[in-house]
Amino acid sequence: MSWIPPNLAQACVYYTNVTTCQPATFLFLELITSLLGYSKESQKYSDFGTDFRGIKYADVKFSNTFFDEQGPVTEEYDFVVVGAGTAGCVVANRLSEVSHWKILLLEAGDEEPEVADVPAFPPVLQRSSIDWMYTTEPAQHSCLARDNGRCNWARGKVMGGTSTINYMIYIRGHPKDYDEWEQDGNEGWSYSKVLPYFIKSEDNRNPEKIEPYYHGTGGYQTVEVFPYQDENTIGIIKAYQELGLEYLDQNTEKMIGTMLLQHTTRDGQRLSANRAFITPIRSKRENLIVQPNSHVTRILIDPKSKTAYGVEYIQKGKLIQAIARKEVILSAGSINSPMLLMLSGVGPADHLAQNNIPVIKDLAVGFNLQDHATIDGVLFQLTNYTATTVSDQERQDDVYEWKQSHQGPLSATGPLQTNAFIQTKYEREHGRPDIQISIDAANVANFMTDPILTYNTAVLPLSYYDGLMARPILLNPESRGRVLLNSSDPTFGAPLIFANTFSKEIDLLRIVEGVKQSLNLERTHIFRHFGIQLIRTPWPACAHLPFASDEYWACIAMAYTTTIFHPVGTCKMGPKQDVSAVVDPELRVYGIKNLRVIDASIMPKIVRGNTNAPVLMIGEKGSDLVKAAWLHEKDGQAQNYEDGFDFGNLFSKFK
């Protein structure tokens, strides 16, 4: 099954002057589809290609082999892991280290296409066939200028999950983020206790650029600096230093400063969690069964004993049940994990009742949604001196260069390699950032022509640009959102994402201060030397306000809201007395035996930094929690089927 790029024809209904709607862009998409649109894994493993968009539960047919005259024929495993994203890949790897355990890893999406390996290609991966293409629900304080008041929330529907379509940044967050988790009753989650898990997964290739004490080598996940930096990238780092930000390793206990970022790549290629943790073992461990294109519809839970005993999933239009002798582990992410729990009868009783789902356990599933929001609009113009724009032929040549050598401009993400963590006047705790500044590549003419169409048609590589978009990122939002089932089609309909971005005034105030601090870049010697200037043309949605006033930037934030795609918190981890908690500190779902959630959704509070590295850590620590329960049974941690659960009568309801 080949990768399908974003459908630009739909966005470019009318002929415009926006570059991404020109014939050259369509030809570029054809080139990379033909050259890089297939998966290396598809050549090795069976292709179960199925697209579940639009399918209805009533359309699903039971497998001819699922029932026979003697009763149902089922698949049996020790553990069923739902979701082959960042955490799921780690969990499947670590559990399959136990050779006598049989592990099933299920993924709704396809095999990872080669196009995802190109570091400069994240824009073209969003809204493509490997993206769930979720959008937020309209809100009063965010995404106001977007189509229908909705922001895109890209989530990976592919082996590797969002680690296959993200921007590959490896940042862990501030140590006190984890200390707060433990202080709130989550024993074992302090920084000192999770640091070994960060180190365990890591294979850091740049010892000269880091503080060795905080890093590891020899792990599955390679972390390194890109092999390519253009002049602007180096210049931005120098500009931050000129403004007084110290250059340091921001994956230590000190974050305020600047850094040339490390990424989850290896030798000029993306190294997703799939490529890092699953590909090396997939053909070697017979006890690991990997099933892509397998859409899980619910967790099987016995309503009397409240024990999870498997999952139901669809593959090739057939309904299949996989039985878990030990545990079901939900690693479907902060949107799909709460959705699956609710579809299975675990969630807010009133919401489940509204969707005619019998309630097995009333829990605050789907609440506590948090994200790192940012904005479009702080745009700097480059001169020809440092602009990296190229001809169509040069861009094509760079594709072939990357294909052959994994070098050149496409082996990096342009100015997004730079990073700054800062404090605004609203942050009271010394040394802890509340704003991160990322500098994104931009096409000035496109944005000035139509900022919304530019947002909707962004597919070109990050390597080529004539503008810099400074993005202040809100690191510690106080606003909270919620994920709900789609009442028109709870199982297959896109969930309702109420992000509630900027619903708390303090979040908007911090963003405005972040904008104002990013504007200081214009007065640095390096920006003046390069001739980089802020574009002072007001953007359409806020042209009625004085340019650069606090009111103007607040308007820009609410109108041109976007995100760096870090949803967390919807299956909150917390102590038993916390009524908002869904899982305990060992990631077991409250009130349901043999069911855990191991992914970003368990974060009680979002970390102050990018979330991929923390989810790797959660996968590592979660795997050890599972092993401790089943390899070293004690204090009732391991719930066996013989203890209060009739495994022999499991299928009686289906006869």
Q: Any idea which residues carry the catalytic annotation?
A: 566
Q: At 452, is the secondary structure helix, strand, or coil? A: helix
Q: Which stretch of DSSP H or E encloses residue 177?
A: helix 175-183
The two tokens of residue 469 are: 């978009």
Residue 320 bridge partners (DSSP): 313
Residue 583 among known ligand-binding residues = no
Residue 162 among known ligand-binding residues = yes
Helices (H), 211-331: 231-242, 273
Strands 221-223 and 202-204: parallel
Helices (H), 120-174: 122-125
Residue 296 among known ligand-binding residues = yes
The whole-angstrom separation of Cα 351 and Cα 69 is: 39
User: What secondary structure, in 3-state letters, does 261-288 show?
Assistant: CCECEECCEECCHHHHHHCCCCCCCCCE
The whole-angstrom separation of Cα 265 and Cα 618 is: 20
Helices H / strands E in the chain, number of each: 17, 28
Residues of 459-468 as b/e, b for ≥16 C-beta within 10 angstroms? Answer: bbbbbbbbbb
CB 578 within 8 A of CB 363: no
565 φ, ψ (degrees, to nearest 5): 65, 55
- 8-state DSSP, 481: B
The whole-angstrom separation of Cα 272 and Cα 279 is: 10
How many alpha carbons fall within 13 Å on the CB side of residue 353?
5
Annotated binding site for FAD: 158, 162, 296
Annotated binding site: 158, 162, 296
